[in-house]
């Protein structure tokens, strides 16, 4: 019998209850076997949720298959269905972490679709959130980026990714595992200083000494997220006022658009592109940053000067005419030239 202070168990249960109540089908838990996701698995099971578990074996470390099997054994002890999803890692070193992450979400989304789960839960914590915000700060991101990871976002058509533990410190989840006698893994790449995130993690205690705690960074993220949501809502209103669907595409009133603040213009264009070629990855802040060059350096000047413009982005052809109308349509497939013999 655990002597856990009720408050942590209650906080985990409170974080999970609305998701378990809302799910009309089973929920897929992404469990690496680290302390956070092991706690997620146990807490979701204790809350009586209709959940299944998946572990992605990235095959990047010796022993990763055995680790995934270890998660499977614990899941079985808890009476949960567990599946190992295997990734064939490409033979290269650079960008391997980002490639592994993309592959992980893709495999999880595909598996969720197979089992009919509409929600995929990960166990990202307050510490993960603080690291993400600091990484984005270093990259000179926008307020949308400083909002950090969203508690919820679309993962694939009909499937949402939810992070219920974003305001729970990792140390609490480690304590939860220890109190409940749950075995967990420590991922050595978390301490591998070849990776920027690991180097940043080493800095966090120093920043905390100066008062920049994970909780404060979390608060910054929540506030930036709140303001970003307001901008998003305004942009949706503008979008619905100035967009009209046309045969095979979309028309935007460029005169109206160019009178809006740049933050709104970027979001309206993102929504228009998304309407034609839905893009669930990368996250919205990155997408907005990638739109900046096109919007600020080409589209807005062309509208202001009454110039025609023709650009392709994210598989969408964007054209403006001299009268200030913007037309977006799926770009024609690239021509493939047959090799000469």
Q: List residues near ligand ATP by CB under 6 A.
A: 30-32, 34-37, 55-56, 104, 122-124, 128, 187, 190
Interacting residues of 143 by C-beta distance below 8 A, sequence separation 6+: 224, 227, 228
33 is in an annotated binding site: yes
In the complex with ligand ATP, which residue's Cβ is closer, 54 or 272? Answer: 54
Residue 25 phi, psi dihedral angles, 5° rounding? -130, -175
In the complex with ligand ATP, which residue's Cβ is closer, 175 or 298? Answer: 175
93 is in an annotated binding site: no
- Calpha distance 137→61 (Å, rounded): 30
DSSP string, 203-272: HHHHHHHTT--HHHHHHHHHHHHHHHHHHHHHHHHHHHHHEEEETTEEEEEHHHHHTS-HHHHHHHHHHH
110 is in an annotated binding site: no
Q: Which residue is nearest to ligand ATP (CB)?
A: 34
Closest contact distance (angstroms) between CB of 291 and ligand ATP is 27
Closest contact distance (angstroms) between CB of 45 and ligand ATP is 15
Closest contact distance (angstroms) between CB of 37 and ligand ATP is 3
User: Do 165 and 173 form a contact (C-beta atoms < 8 A)?
Assistant: yes
Is the bond preceding 282 in cis, omega lying within 30 degrees of 0?
Answer: yes
In the complex with ligand ATP, which residue's Cβ is closer, 104 or 150? Answer: 104
In the complex with ligand ATP, which residue's Cβ is closer, 42 or 124? Answer: 124
145 is in an annotated binding site: no
34 is in an annotated binding site: yes
Please name which of 150, 127, 104, 126 lies closest in space to residue 198, comparing C-alpha atoms.
127
Query: Strand 309-313 and strand 249-253: pairing?
Result: unpaired
227 is in an annotated binding site: no
Closest contact distance (angstroms) between CB of 257 and ligand ATP is 38
Closest contact distance (angstroms) between CB of 13 and ligand ATP is 18
In the complex with ligand ATP, which residue's Cβ is closer, 175 or 325? Answer: 175
- Calpha distance 129→137 (Å, rounded): 12
- Which residue intervals of 23-125 are DSSP H helices? 35-46, 64-77, 96-115
Closest contact distance (angstroms) between CB of 339 and ligand ATP is 40
In the complex with ligand ATP, which residue's Cβ is closer, 194 or 334? Answer: 194
Kindly tell me the burial class for residue 202, based on how many C-beta atoms sit within 10 Å of its own C-beta (0-12, 13-18, 19 or more).
exposed
- Residue ranges of the binding site for ATP: 32-37
């Amino acid at each position: 019998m655990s002597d856990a202070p009720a408050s942590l168990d209650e906080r985990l249960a409170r974080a999970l209850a609305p998701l378990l109540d809302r799910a009309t089908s089973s929920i897929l838990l992404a469990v690496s076997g680290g302390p956070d996701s092991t706690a997620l698995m146990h807490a979701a099971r204790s809350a009586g949720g209709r959940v299944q578990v998946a572990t992605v074996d990235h095959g990047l470390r010796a022993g990763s298959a055995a680790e995934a099997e270890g998660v499977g054994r614990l899941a079985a002890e808890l009476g949960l269905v567990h599946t190992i999803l295997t990734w064939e890692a490409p033979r290269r070193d650079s960008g391997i972490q980002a490639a592994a992450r993309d592959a992980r979400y893709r495999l999880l989304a595909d598996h969720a679709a197979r089992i009919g789960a509409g929600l995929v839960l990960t166990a990202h914590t307050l510490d993960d959130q603080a690291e993400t915000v600091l990484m984005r700060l270093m990259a000179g991101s926008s307020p949308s980026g400083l909002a950090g990871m969203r508690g919820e976002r679309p993962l694939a058509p009909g499937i949402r990714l939810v992070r219920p533990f974003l305001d729970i410190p990792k140390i609490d989840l480690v304590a939860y595992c220890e109190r409940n006698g749950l075995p967990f893994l420590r991922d050595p790449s978390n301490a591998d200083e070849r990776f920027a995130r690991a180097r940043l993690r080493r800095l966090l205690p120093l920043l905390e000494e100066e008062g920049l705690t994970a909780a404060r960074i979390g608060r910054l993220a929540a506030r930036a997220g709140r303001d970003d949501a307001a901008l998003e809502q305004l942009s949706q209103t503008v979008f619905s006022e100035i967009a009209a669907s046309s045969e095979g595409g979309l028309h935007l009133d460029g005169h109206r658009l160019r009178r809006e603040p740049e933050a709104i213009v970027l979001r309206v264009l993102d929504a228009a592109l998304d309407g034609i070629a839905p893009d669930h990855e990368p996250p919205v802040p990155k997408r907005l940053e990638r739109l900046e060059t096109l919007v600020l350096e080409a589209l807005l000047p062309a509208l202001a000067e009454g110039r025609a413009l023709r650009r392709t982005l994210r598989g969408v052809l964007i054209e403006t005419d001299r009268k200030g109308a913007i037309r977006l349509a799926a770009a024609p497939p690239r021509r493939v030239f047959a090799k000469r013999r």
